[in-house]
Structure 1
Amino acid sequence: MKITILGAGGMGSRFAIKLHKKGNDVKLIDGWQINVDTIKKNGIFANFNGEELFEYIPIISPEEIEKDEQQADLIIVFTKSYQLREMLQGVKQIIGPNTYVLCLLNGMGHEEVLKEFVPKQNILLGITMWTAIMEAPGRVKLFGTGDVEMQNLEPGSDHKKFAEEVVGVLSDAGLNARYSENVKYSIYRKAALNGTLNSLCTILECNIGQLGKTKEAETLLKEIIAEFAAVGAKEGINLDQEEVYEHIYQTFLGDITEHYPSMYQDLIKNHRPTEIDFINGAISSKGTKYGVPTPYCTLLTQLIHAKEQIINVS
């Protein structure tokens, strides 16, 4: 399968390495030129659970796409949410009528952007619980275990057949994929995880384990989850708040307690914009639309944006 991965950060690199090692035709497209140049010269170095790995994978920037560039069978999106529209605009030449796009981004609402560039029936929505950290251009840290859950945005036997083929390709590469009949529930469930761990760890400038040790953690998690559930109910998503809380609480006990979530890495470590508008900000906006109070998500969104201004993100 000819696979193009948009975004050569931690997650894009993880998927590229696993898929390439299994013999798939993989190409990376990334907008960070230093990263592109480094990977072209040296390949990708990965610390995989303490083991050093190296993989050379073709990579280009959107500006380097040739006029006769072959269209991809599958595009996997790993850009930042706020970069999605610009990236798709830059690579629209490789999106053909038979190209499918699998979106595994954190947060909600990406399908509205995708539909501007891809036929609705060719969109695959999903989530992944794999984790990764980009330590430097061309260098990533990969740890823990994870999986992928995905579903066609629009039902149809032919489209589901391709989606199931993608599930097979990902699973064959060790990425533990499965087809879902209710991925929107899972997207809300994961967004609730990101809406607690990402935003709180970023505001408090702490890792997951440190957050879990605070006396306030339980109350904060439950209040934020309740807002996700209230908004989700307006969209036919009946979020099991107790299960979601237990799911998030387990991160305080597992093997990622020393992990700093991606929003922390973006803002605190790298002084880059965050995806807050697609996580807590999405709940705040939807809450306004549906007349549902979301004071915690609204405040967290405002605080993150204020912190972006104080840090002077670029």
Structure 2
Amino acid sequence: MKIAIAGAGAMGSRFGYQLKKAGQDVTLIDPWTDHVEAIREHGLQVDYDGQLDSVEIPILYPQEVTESYDLVVCFTKALGLDAMLANIKPALGEHTRVLCLLNGLGHEKTVEKYVPAENFLIGNTIWTAGLDGPGKAHLYGSGSLALQNVVPGHEEQAKEVAELLDQAGLNATFDPNVRYSIYRKAALNGCVNGVCALLDCNLGSFGSTDSAPVIIREVVSEFAAVAAQEGIILDQPEVVSYVESIFSPDSIGEHFPSLHQDLVQKGRLTEIDFINGAIARQAVEYGFRAPYCELITLLVHSKEQILGAK
């Protein structure tokens, strides 16, 4: 299968690396000049839990894409998804399947502007990764991936993609209830992503504070309230335990989540509007408020302004 990774940042580099090591025909696509040129010159440099490796892997700027792929895996930031798909239209053939693995909620409407709904796969991953610099990926710990077809009747195609990703060591499964997993992952990000950016700390440091249990419980309850309006019943105690499980150094406690990487480390605008912000907006649409998510969203936007994020 001919695969493109649209968005070759930390997570895109991880997936591209593991697919390439598994012998797949994979190409990275990214607009970051330093990153693209570093990979072209030196290959993708990888620190995988302390083990150093390097792999030669093709990488293109979006405007260089001229041919279609069998599978496009989207790993852009939420703010950049529309522009990426618009710039790589030649990659999206009649039968191209698009798997969206972005953080947050509400990406379906963007993807369906570019591909038929029957070609669209939604998914959720709890793998983590970081970038130590252009062309240098840092891969942490273990993880998993669940995905599902959006249109009923295309389960076999989705299962084929899940099997391919699983063979690359990505612990991928087909999940007919992946929207539950997406809300579960979004709730985790809602608990820690913005907060770690605000506090300028890693996951373990936030988890060690006396305030963390209160914040986690309240944020999870707000995600659960919105999910319930959409027929998805989150097991709140389980989700809280799931969030708390990541704080250990034996898990990913030393990891700085993506909003910290974007805002604090790189001075970039964040995707908070697709995480806590999405819950705050949807809650109002359903006739109630999500005050913790509202406040986290406002504070992150304030920090973006203070730091001059772009």
TM-score normalised to structure 2 length: 0.98
SS in 2 for 1:259: coil
CA distance in 2, matches of 1:224, 1:23: 41
1:163-182 equivalences in 2 (<5 Å): 163-182=158-177
1:124-143 equivalences in 2 (<5 Å): 124-143=121-140
Partner of 1:97: 94
CA distance in 1, matches of 2:27, 2:203: 33
> Offset at 1:207?
1.1
Partner of 1:280: 276
1:135-154 equivalences in 2 (<5 Å): 135-154=132-151
SS in 1 for 2:88: helix
2:187 corresponds to 1:192: yes
Q: From 295, 300, 304, give the equivalent of 1:299.
A: 295
Structure 2: gaps spanning 5 or more residues? none
Partner of 1:224: 219
CA distance in 2, matches of 1:132, 1:191: 17
CA distance in 2, matches of 1:137, 1:213: 32
Moved over 6 A (4+): none
Partner of 1:3: 3
Total equivalences in the alignment: 309
SS in 1 for 2:230: coil
CA distance in 2, matches of 1:2, 1:252: 37
CA distance in 1, matches of 2:134, 2:226: 38
Structure 1: gaps spanning 5 or more residues? none
Partner of 1:201: 196
Asked whether the 8 Å contact 1:103–1:124 carries over to 2, the reply is yes
Question: What does the per-residue CA deviation read over 1:58-107, in whole Å, with 9 as the maximum and x for residues that have no partner?
Answer: 11101222xxx321000000100100000000001110110000011110
CA distance in 2, matches of 1:56, 1:6: 17
Partner of 2:28: 28
Partner of 1:270: 266
Cα RMSD for the two superposed structures: 0.9
CA distance in 2, matches of 1:166, 1:26: 14
Identity %: 48
CA distance in 1, matches of 2:208, 2:126: 23
CA distance in 2, matches of 1:45, 1:134: 10
CA distance in 2, matches of 1:5, 1:255: 26
SS in 1 for 2:288: coil
2:256 corresponds to 1:260: yes
CA distance in 2, matches of 1:252, 1:41: 37
> Offset at 1:108?
0.5
CA distance in 2, matches of 1:283, 1:195: 9
Question: What does the per-residue CA deviation read over 1:272-313, in whole Å, with 9 as the maximum and x for residues that have no partner?
Answer: 111101000000110111112111101111110110010001
CA distance in 2, matches of 1:80, 1:257: 23
TM-score normalised to structure 1 length: 0.97
SS in 2 for 1:252: coil
Residue identity matched to 1:73? D
Asked whether the 8 Å contact 1:231–1:292 carries over to 2, the reply is no
